[in-house]
Amino acid sequence: MKWRIEDENETMRNDKRLRRKTVFISVIAAVAAATVIGCAVAALRHQDSLKPGKASYFYVNGMKTGWSADMKLMRKDGVTVIHEGKRKCGFQEFPLVLEDEDTIILQKSCCYNRIADERIFRLDYFTAVKKDEEGILITRKDKEARCDGGFIYDNNDTYIFLEPVTLTWEDNSRKIEPMTIIQVSYMDYLELYGPGIEPVAEEIGTEEVVAEFEDGRKVNLSTDRYYMRNGVWRLLFLPLEGLSEMGTGGRVDEEEK
């Protein structure tokens, strides 16, 4: 009987040691998990904010809205908000133009239609589109890619043309230079601006707002249709999550690796 009591006491001591060890391991695991989560949150915060460091602007209904070099873009819950001191603006539909630079900042994710080979890519929010002596350069974070003409579309009303086109609407015709931002709301209004480009803003009463490329392909900006040279057309709206990222810092599908 004495032997059994001593054995039970030893078993109890072993159980306590095991519990203490289990608690210690659990604490270590919890600390490690908290550290990983903290690092992930910090990385996400860094990824979801951008400070261009330059004065910038966009146009709304023909009126220029300017921002100082202290402005910061913050991305939260799928929406970009501009912060400048106590001033905030949620107009993510309007691409930002950096002052004194041929650079456009996309506030939201868009698709890039490369008509040279009829391929379509995703451009994630905070992508920069810049014109230099070699052409158009698209960058995001520490990655970059050269673009071969075509246009950017935001799945709504905004287009950015990256090569020359001729824009016609009602009784108007205008040559459009690369890096021109055009926004068209169906049978409502047309807005046009960009780096070094004279802005245009006017009401329209037509569904024929057409940009024609030099090779004869066309885009109807009012109905969001893209026309091949043989007249066959397709709608431009595409779910962005199904597109390969262009290689500028976002998710890249296997085809693009």
Domain ranges of the chain: 1-47, 50-256
pTM for the model: 0.79
User: Which residue's entry shows tokens 């939260």?
Assistant: 76
Residue-level pLDDT at 6: 42
* Burial class, 254, CB count within 10 angstroms (exposed 0-12 / middle 13-18 / buried 19+): exposed
Q: Which amino acid is at 152?
A: I
* Burial class, 221, CB count within 10 angstroms (exposed 0-12 / middle 13-18 / buried 19+): buried
**Residue 104, pLDDT above cutoff 60:** yes
Sign of CA dihedral 23, 27, 32, 34: positive
Compute CA distances 252 → 4, 11, 79, 123, 243, whole Å. 66, 56, 22, 11, 9
% pLDDT > 70, the chain: 78
The CA angle 253-247-243, to the nearest 5 degrees, is 45
Please list, in sequence order, all residues whose beta carbon lies within 8 angstroms of the beta carbon of residue 244, skipping any fewer than 6 positions away.
121, 122, 252, 253, 255, 256
Interval 182-241: pLDDT, tens: 999 999 999 999 999 999 999 999 999 999 999 999 999 999 999 999 999 999 999 999
